Amino acid sequence: MLRERIEGKWIACFAEVFRLCGVKAGESAAILSETQSREVNVQLAELALASLGARAFHVVVPSPKLSAPAPVRSTGASDAIGQLAPVVSALAASSFVVDLTVEGLQHAVELPAILKGGARVLVVSNEHPEILERCMPDAALETRVRAGMKRMKAAKAMHVKSPAGTDLNIRLEAARVGGVWGFTERPGSLTHWPGGLCLAFPAAGSVNGKLVLAAGDMNLTFKRYIESPITLGVENDYVTSIEGAGYDAAMMREYYTSWGDSEAYAVSHVGWGMNRIARWDAMAFYDKRDFNGTESRAFAGNFLYSTGANEVAGRHTLGHFDLPVRNCTITLDEQMIVGAGRLIGDLA
């Protein structure tokens, strides 16, 4: 296991990302954490903000009581704030928020109120600092992600195929398109580090076909590479069948069933990875405690399929799977943007 201690190089990494977020001397900066947060990252954030001359303060909340019927991992939907109004007010009144909660604020119910106040929110993924160091963002990544978002916003349909048998049709009309590149200077916005994703949250009834998870694809809820094939049948957004004879399919069936919630089977978001630094094989090098899987969502050319909460479709659930799939070909209105797992043209 890697050690977790303060390293000067990691303070410098945090400071550089904060600079990319436009942090200036004298600026108010809230460091949001919970009692189960990774302490070394909390300390690195404080020291980095101090090095920039920002006026930082801590907001620390107790990690909440477990409320789900199954373990919850890597959802991006922290419930640590618990809609506690003074906490929301403090974050909304800050110009910069470093989010170090275990799950992250990406889909938290309090996020709209925090952003409405004009805060720039940087979610630092719950990773060992070495992973954050390897996945430092830069301006070139922003340019490429924006180009991908522009393509997706202009498209009416996405089609995904793979040699393993994936064949998905996704309508993008009325979808909410987003992208992250690891930093943000715009008031009232959120990003996460590591970054490098183009995503769409489709409207209800937009996804049909089948998704085949082959050996080497990932189930990031389980922090595990797929070893035996799984075929998911998808009808009007919902996984209606889970076929596969191996351990991977059995685990997925059991986890879905444990929620007792049909919305857990529905699509949350779809998209593709844009980060050329992020590595598909990185998960093999880290203990599960040290790895949150954000790098795996972002590695260049993967197709990311997620089930769970989708506000655009009016669905809310804590059940969540993030499934990065390799070797896919992705087209937008019949124009190829990913070919056999490789980004094409100005997205590459």
87: domain CATH number is 3.40.50.2300
Q: Summarize pLDDT for 88-128 with one digit per residue, the tens.
A: 999 999 999 999 999 999 988 999 999 999 999 999 999 99
User: Does one domain contain both 154 and 167?
Assistant: yes
Mean pLDDT taken over the chain: 96
Higher pLDDT: 78 or 294? It is 294
Q: Is residue 284 part of a domain?
A: yes
User: Does one domain contain both 148 and 229?
Assistant: yes
pTM of the prediction? 0.94
Q: Is residue 128 part of a domain?
A: yes
What single string gives the DSSP state of each residue in 215-253?
Answer: TT-EETTTTEE--S-EEEEEETTEEEEEE-SSHHHHHHH
Distance, CA of 269 to CA of 170 (rounded, Å) = 11
User: Does one domain contain both 236 and 316?
Assistant: yes
In terms of Cα–Cα distance, which of 233, 272, 269, 271 is closest to 252?
A: 233
User: Does one domain contain both 91 and 152?
Assistant: no
Q: Summarize pLDDT for 42-57 with one digit per residue, the tens.
A: 999 999 999 999 999 9
Residue 30 CB partners (closer than 8 Å, separation 6+): 56, 57, 58, 59, 90, 91, 94, 96, 97, 98, 119
User: Does one domain contain both 251 and 335?
Assistant: yes
**Which pLDDT belongs to residue 316?**
86
Q: Is residue 186 part of a domain?
A: no
Rounded to 5°, the CA angle 315-321-322 comes to 110
Is the dihedral angle over the CA atoms 92, 98, 103, 104 positive or is it negative? positive
What share of the chain in percent tops pLDDT 90? 92
Count of domains observed in the chain: 2
Q: Is residue 187 part of a domain?
A: no
SS3 334: coil
Sequence length of the chain is 348
Look at residue 1 and tell me whether its pLDDT is greater than 80. Answer: no
User: Does one domain contain both 201 and 230?
Assistant: yes
User: Does one domain contain both 143 and 37?
Assistant: no
User: Does one domain contain both 121 and 153?
Assistant: no
What share of the chain in percent tops pLDDT 70? 100
User: Does one domain contain both 73 and 106?
Assistant: yes
**Which pLDDT belongs to residue 23?**
98
Q: Is residue 3 part of a domain?
A: no
Q: Is residue 305 part of a domain?
A: yes
Q: Is residue 293 part of a domain?
A: yes
Distance, CA of 122 to CA of 94 (rounded, Å) = 12
Residue 156 burial by CB count (10 A; 0-12/13-18/19+): exposed, middle or buried?
exposed
Q: Summarize pLDDT for 190-231 with one digit per residue, the tens.
A: 999 999 999 999 999 999 999 999 999 999 999 999 999 999
Q: Is residue 184 part of a domain?
A: no
Look at residue 136 and tell me whether its pLDDT is greater than 90. Answer: yes
The residue behind tokens 């970054």 is: 195
**Which pLDDT belongs to residue 244?**
97
Domain that holds residue 20: 8-134
User: Does one domain contain both 101 and 218?
Assistant: no
User: Does one domain contain both 255 and 111?
Assistant: no
Q: What are the CB-based long-range contacts (under 8 Å, 24+) for 330-336?
A: 330/158, 330/159, 330/160, 330/272, 330/303, 331/158, 331/159, 332/151, 332/152, 332/154, 332/155, 332/157, 332/158, 332/172, 333/154, 333/155, 333/156, 333/157, 334/159, 335/151
Distance, CA of 42 to CA of 46 (rounded, Å) = 6
Last residue of a domain, one of 101, 117, 134: 134
User: Does one domain contain both 29 and 55?
Assistant: yes
Longest dimension (CA), the chain: 59
